[in-house]
């Protein structure tokens, strides 16, 4: 077999999982990993949690120690951006002028935060995706300062919780949602979260449209609302969603449509796979195309992409496996760990099947998410791991409620 080159673009969770799986499966050819951040691979979830609260030092976010990375024998090119792909010629162009020919390619370029027009012109306005973002945010925070968080998705509410902790900052969340996280978790769970955050001293300005940012002498002073009000803030965190990093793939021959269009094997084209937040793949069990921004998915999909690429290169495509995970997501806010399995988005019915609201700081809840009569997702908080694992089994595939009602009741019976 002639020597091969596999290129992985994106040196974070999905890219590293891909590279490690390739080596574990015996791939001993050249393995180039290109990442545009200058840092060694690190974990993002703690950035809005333990690192933002100060409980963890940034060093604890390292994804691997240098010895493990060395074991992988990577040609690791950090601080270098891929600027173009010619999938027909099998070539990736980098911004340092290099052109990498490849036998196989895995794209793991993730997403970047959306922001507001004019945000870049005022100091004190931040997004949070990278270690550099975190450093910039920290530099503009001052004890007891006023912070406005725009957006009430998981990231916005984690940032609010971390900054409000112990009364360190006066935090206001500004959102167009009626209750926090309604789009992700539904109104019922959102209402519980609303109560928890207010109880912790966070001001929630729900149902508001942000029209702009107010500033003086180049620094942000507040968030302007459609009502004509200005929410005062000396730091603003914009957490209004993200955009897949796919611009560099224009003219590549790949289909880009809210992420990289992939089939059930995570393949985007012959010898090209995508994994992690950037992949919009056909989920064979859910029967629809799915793109998730979940940490565990990045690892699992990277591993499957690596396996399938090697099978394709080895001429045994029948050994490729479909990528059909039960999606999993968690979010930590104060003492709450919210965990969700399956698909929650697009639900037309949400049922709180179990709710113990005795402790206002830690509601214990199980919610089921339905679409067109099919149970597709479950969310739990304050629930023993064993019960949650069993609940996961209920949503491994979309199922009519009538068929699993008894099983669901059995699972919940353990909660008393
Ligand atoms: C603050 C924060 C908190 C989070 N908390 C949770 C949580 O609690 N639970 C959960 O499940 N998930 C959470 N996530 C999401 C989780 O971190 C992501 O799902 C995961 O990082 C996705 O990994 P990825 O490798 O696909 O993409 P990324 O981690 O985004 O990595 C992509 C990498 O590719 C680089 N890149 C982009 N374009 C190019 C290019 N053209 N050339 C070279 N390099 C490029 C990017 O700079 C980046 O380094 C959180 C994310 C953030 C930001």
Tell me how far the alpha carbon of residue 414 lies from the centroid of ligand 1, in angstroms: 36
Distances (CA, A) of 397 to 305, 366, 378, 380, 404: 22, 18, 12, 18, 11
How far lies 211's CA from each of 180, 222, 234, 237, in Å? 19, 11, 17, 15
Q: What is the pLDDT of residue 2?
A: 58
C-alpha of residue 12 to centroid of ligand 1, in Å:
6
- pLDDT at 330 (0 to 100): 97
What structural domains does the chain harbor? 5-112+243-319 (3.50.50.60), 115-240 (3.50.50.60), 335-413 (3.30.390.30)
DSSP characters over 353-389:
EEEE-SSTTS-EEEEEEEETTEEEEEEEES--HHHHH
Residue nearest to atom 30 of ligand 1 (CA): 110
- CA 42 to ligand 1 centroid distance, Å: 9
Query: In what side-by-side order are the strands of the sheet with 5-9?
Result: 75-78, 30-35, 5-9, 104-107, 272-274, 267-269
Kindly give the distance from the C-alpha atom of residue 78 to the centroid of ligand 1, in angstroms, as a whole number. 15
Q: Is 113 in the pocket of ligand 1 (CB under 6 A)?
A: no
pLDDT at residue 414, as a whole number: 86
DSSP 112: E
Ligand 1 atom at minimal distance to the Cα of residue 13: 25
> Is residue 129 in contact with ligand 1, taking CB distance under 6 Å?
yes
Q: Is the CB of 330 under 6 A from ligand 1?
A: yes
Residues of the chain with pLDDT under 50: none
Residue 166: what pLDDT? 82
Q: How far is the CA of 14 from the centre of ligand 1 (A)?
A: 8
Closest protein CA for atom 4 of ligand 1: 45
CA of 43 to the centre of ligand 1 (A): 8
């Amino acid at each position: 077999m002639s020597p091969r080159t596999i290129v992985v673009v994106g040196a974070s969770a999905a890219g590293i999982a891909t590279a490690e799986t390739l080596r574990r499966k015996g791939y001993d050819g050249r393995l180039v990993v290109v990442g545009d951040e200058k840092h060694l691979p690190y974990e993002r979830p703690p950035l809005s949690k333990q690192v933002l609260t100060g409980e963890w030092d940034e060093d604890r976010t390292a994804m691997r120690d240098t010895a493990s990375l060395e074991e992988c024998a990577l040609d690791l090119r950090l601080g270098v951006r891929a600027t173009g792909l010619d999938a027909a010629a099998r070539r990736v162009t980098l911004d340092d002028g290099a052109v990498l020919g490849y036998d196989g390619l895995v794209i793991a370029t993730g997403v970047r935060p959306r922001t507001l027009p004019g945000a870049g012109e005022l100091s004190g306005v931040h997004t949070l995706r990278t270690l550099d973002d975190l450093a910039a945010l920290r530099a503009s925070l001052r004890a007891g300062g006023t912070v406005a968080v725009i957006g009430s998705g998981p990231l916005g509410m984690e940032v609010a919780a971390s900054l409000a902790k112990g009364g360190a900052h006066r935090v206001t969340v500004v959102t167009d949602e009626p209750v926090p996280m309604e789009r992700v978790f539904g109104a019922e769970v959102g209402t519980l979260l609303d109560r928890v955050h207010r109880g912790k001293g966070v001001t929630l300005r729900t149902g508001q449209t942000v029209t702009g940012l107010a500033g003086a002498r180049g620094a942000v002073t507040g968030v302007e609302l459609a009502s004509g009000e200005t929410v005062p803030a000396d730091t603003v965190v914009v957490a209004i969603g993200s955009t897949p990093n796919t611009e560099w793939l224009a003219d590549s021959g790949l289909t880009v449509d809210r992420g990289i269009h992939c089939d059930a094997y995570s393949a985007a084209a012959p010898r090209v796979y995508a994994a992690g937040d950037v992949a919009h793949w056909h989920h064979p069990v859910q029967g629809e195309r799915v793109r998730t921004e979940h940490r565990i998915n990045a690892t699992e999909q990277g591993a499957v992409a690596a396996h399938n690429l090697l099978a394709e290169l080895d001429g045994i495509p029948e050994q490729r496996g479909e990528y059909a995970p039960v999606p999993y997501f968690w979010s930590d806010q104060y003492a709450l760990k919210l965990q969700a399995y399956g698909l929650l988005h697009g639900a037309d019915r949400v049922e709180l099947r179990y709710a113990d609201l005795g402790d206002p700081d830690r509601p214990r809840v199980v919610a089921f998410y339905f679409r067109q009569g099919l149970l597709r997702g479950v969310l739990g908080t304050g629930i023993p791991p064993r019960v949650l694992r069993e609940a996961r089994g209920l949503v491994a595939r979309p199922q009519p409620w009538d068929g699993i009602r008894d099983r669901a009741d059995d699972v919940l019976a353990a909660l008393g």
